[in-house]
Amino acid sequence: MIYTKHHTTLGKGNFVLSVSEGQFLGEHVAFYDLWRLKEGKIVEHWDTIETIPPQELWANPNGKFGF
């Protein structure tokens, strides 16, 4: 698992989302990590890793990070 670029961090209330990209098992992927905080500490964490297909296979020009 290698993080190569951090795209954004969003927070609202006691939730924080981090969106990054990198390599996982030799594939180009997007990492989405969501944390819930309580009293300044992480109490829950969820994540997903999504493969980023070659650009010629994208359904639109936005890609995973076109926000």
Considering only residues 64 and 29, tell me which one the structure prediction assigns the higher pLDDT. 29
pLDDT average, residue stretch 45-67: 89
Domain that residue 40 falls in: 2-61
Identify the pLDDT of residue 8: 96
Within-domain flag for 40: yes
Within-domain flag for 30: yes
Within-domain flag for 24: yes
Within-domain flag for 67: no
Within-domain flag for 12: yes
Task: State yes or no: pLDDT of 58 exceeds 90.
Answer: no
- Counted domains in the chain: 1
**Contact residues for 60 (Cβ-Cβ < 8 A; gap 6+):** 66
For the chain, give the percent of residues with pLDDT over 70: 100
Cβ-based neighbour number of residue 60 at 10 Å: 6
Confidence category of residue 19, pLDDT binned at 50, 70, 90: very high
pTM of this structure: 0.84
Q: Residue 10: give its domain's CATH number.
A: 3.10.450
Within-domain flag for 57: yes
